[in-house]
Amino acid sequence: MIVGRVVGPLVATQKHRKFEGATLLLVQPLGEGDMPRGPALLAVDTVGAGVHEKVLLVLDGRAAGDAMQKKAAPVDAAIVGIIDHIDIPS
């Protein structure tokens, strides 16, 4: 899993049927010191995350499908948690 920050919602009327009812959010992956790392991606939100929130993402089709509780869904990323804080003792 990785950490990201929610950039904003994406709206798509015409989409694969497995996305019916799903919330799509653009997310910027974060690296050390919460700096943006790599390109933004689009994830299915299963926890009700909002813009600017720091979230926990799975970047794996099976895990993302499990989070959506759908089998054989054509997804590769899902938000599975909203992060309160991360402690990394030095």
Interface positions with another protein (CB under 8 A): 5-16, 18-19, 24, 26, 28, 36, 39-43, 51-52, 61, 64-65, 72-77
Work out how close the CB of 89 gets to another protein at its nearest, in angstroms, rounded to a whole number.
27
How far apart are the C-alpha atoms of 32 and 40, rounded to whole Å? 16
Least distance (Å) between residue 50 CB and another protein: 9
**Phi/psi at 67 (5° precision):** -65, -35
Two tokens, residue 45: 């939100």
How far does the chain reach from its first CA to its final CA, in angstroms?
21
CB of 31 to another protein, least distance (A): 12
